[in-house]
Amino acid sequence: KHFGPQEFGGSEAWTKVGACTGTVGPTASPTFDPNTPGCPPPYDETLAYDENDKVSIDNVAYQCTQSAYCIVFGPTDAGGILGWKSLGPCFGSLAPTASPTFDADTPGCPEDYVAGTPYAGGDRVAVDNVIYQCKKPHEAHCPNRVPGAQGDDDDAWIRLGVCTGTIAPTPSPTVDLDAPGCPEEYDPDTEYSSLDKALVDGIVYMCRPNAYSAFCNAGPAYAPGGSNSDLGWMKQGGCRGTIAPTSSP
């Protein structure tokens, strides 16, 4: 059953607005503006945008103004205004560019990410031909969080871009005769202080100075090479042999 505005039951479906006279004037016929620009590529939340990059969402073009925020927020997100500005409506797509060419400057890929590896801030890895860099000060999460799995909300890894092949090999390693001698192996029962050094798997670690030294004795997770190692220990590098003995007192 359908109810007209004045029929019994019509008040359930219709609201009286008021009196009127004549008719509503017709709107103008829509016109096409040939100067409306073509739309840039659609926004892709998996990409890391730089300043001046342009994207589109629902026939509106946006331009990145602050790359640090463009990585975190999309143009229409609540925080999008921090990194994006609206360029206005767009139509269709941008004119095609010339045929793509191979970019000889595309970087080679670093080593693939391996869960459990003690990555430090600034370390780079590859996942599916995408480069990620471990962030400071959240580097403690890098060993156990797969890059890209958290999307733009990842506080441990930042997406740097695509890569191809592998990084050019470095020269064969040489023995550094000036490398320092190795300190004693890390002992969980030893009470370490600021600037104390310990050896784990051939790597020298030094206990951070000042208040951070408290983390050096905070338990297995904070031991050198542990999941929270960087809070109390600084990786110093390799060593050779043992530390030379001091002279007799």
Q: pLDDT digit string (tens) for 103-114?
A: 555 678 889 999
Residue 245 has pLDDT above 90, yes or no: no
Higher pLDDT residue, 103 or 56?
Answer: 56
Confidence of residue 162 (pLDDT cuts 50, 70, 90): confident
How remote is the C-alpha of 136 from its chain's centroid?
Answer: 11
Mean of the per-residue pLDDT values for the chain? 80
The pLDDT of residue 248 is: 57
The pLDDT of residue 139 is: 82
Average pLDDT over residues 124-136: 88
Which amino acid does the sequence have at 198?
Answer: A
Q: Which of 60-64, 206-210, 240-244 has the highest mean pLDDT?
A: 60-64
pTM: 0.31
Nearest Cα to Cα of residue 38 among 52, 19, 55, 17:
55
Average pLDDT over residues 49-76: 89
Among 76-80, 115-119, 160-164, 224-228, name the one with the lowest average pLDDT: 160-164
Nearest Cα to Cα of residue 147 among 165, 123, 167, 168:
123
Among 39-43, 88-92, 136-140, 234-238, name the one with the lowest average pLDDT: 136-140
The pLDDT of residue 185 is: 93
The pLDDT of residue 230 is: 86
Average pLDDT over residues 187-212: 90
The pLDDT of residue 1 is: 54
CA dihedral 219, 225, 228, 233 (to 10 degrees): 90
